[in-house]
Amino acid sequence: MQQAGAGRSFGAGQGSRLAAGPGGETLLFLTDEQLRRGIEAMYFAYRAFTSDPDLMLEEMGYGRAHHRTLHFINRDPGLTVTALLDVLGVTKQSLNRVLRGLLDDGLVESRVGRRDRRERQLYLTDKGAALEKRLSESQRARMRAAYRAAGPQAVAGFRQVLESMMDRDTLRQFQSLRDLPEGKA
């Protein structure tokens, strides 16, 4: 094992100090330099994180926006365009161009809403699901490897920090995405 650099990580033990606060809780003193390292780690990791799907997408004329669209339709089949707009945080026009491409290429299917016939409910076709699977599997593989290399405690910490970094609305959005539709592999 020993995935890239797993052994000699530079965690919180390097210059940061712990102290008991007035209420007894543990406080962390972090230097600006340590925070900056965290910022840079975030930048580089995110870049690496998106690099595998980006390569596949580029080959077939798609971009990151297509990936995100496929991802959220896959996670919540039948969601409306408005719901998708909300989770992606982009404008209708911006999404529409991407969505039209996916519809034209037969990766996504748009059905008239059952409750409200103005709404369009979005589903992946088999072809779309296949691409989504390819894309997400590459990211899962990277995430899995990182998790394995860093260990269970690190995984918990990773998620805690990421969640704490979100602002209220984003966190709410993230958490409302909690429940998945079916136990798909």
Partner DNA sequence: CTTGGAAAGTCAACAAGACTGCCCTATTAC
Partner DNA sequence: GTAATAGGGCAGTCTTGTTGACTTTCCAAG
The binding site for DNA (CB under 7 A) comprises: 57, 61-66, 68, 80-82, 85, 89-100, 110, 112-113, 116-120
How far is it, in rounded angstroms, from Cα 144 to Cα 164?
A: 22
What interhelical angle do 92-104 and 64-75 show, nearest 10? 80
In terms of Cα–Cα distance, which of 137, 159, 138 is closest to 147?
159
Output 65 or 146, the one with its CB closest to DNA: 65
The residue among 18 and 112 lying less far from its own copies, judged by its C-beta, is: 18
For residue 121, the tally of other CB atoms under 10 A from its CB is: 19
**At its nearest, how many Å lie between DNA and the CB of residue 21?**
40
Q: Which residue among 15, 48, 63, 130 contacts its own copies (CB under 8 A)?
A: 48
Q: Token digits for 70?
A: 């496929």
CB of 112 to its own copies, least distance (A): 28
133 to 172: interface string for its own copies, x by CB under 8 A? ---x--xx-xxxxxxxxxxxxxxxxxxxxxxxxxxx-xx-
Residues 76-105 close enough to bind its own copies by CB under 8 A = 89
Q: Which long-range contacts (CB under 8 A, 24 or more apart) does 106-112 make?
A: 107/70, 107/131, 108/69, 108/70, 108/73, 111/78
By CB under 8 A, residue 4 contacts its own copies: yes
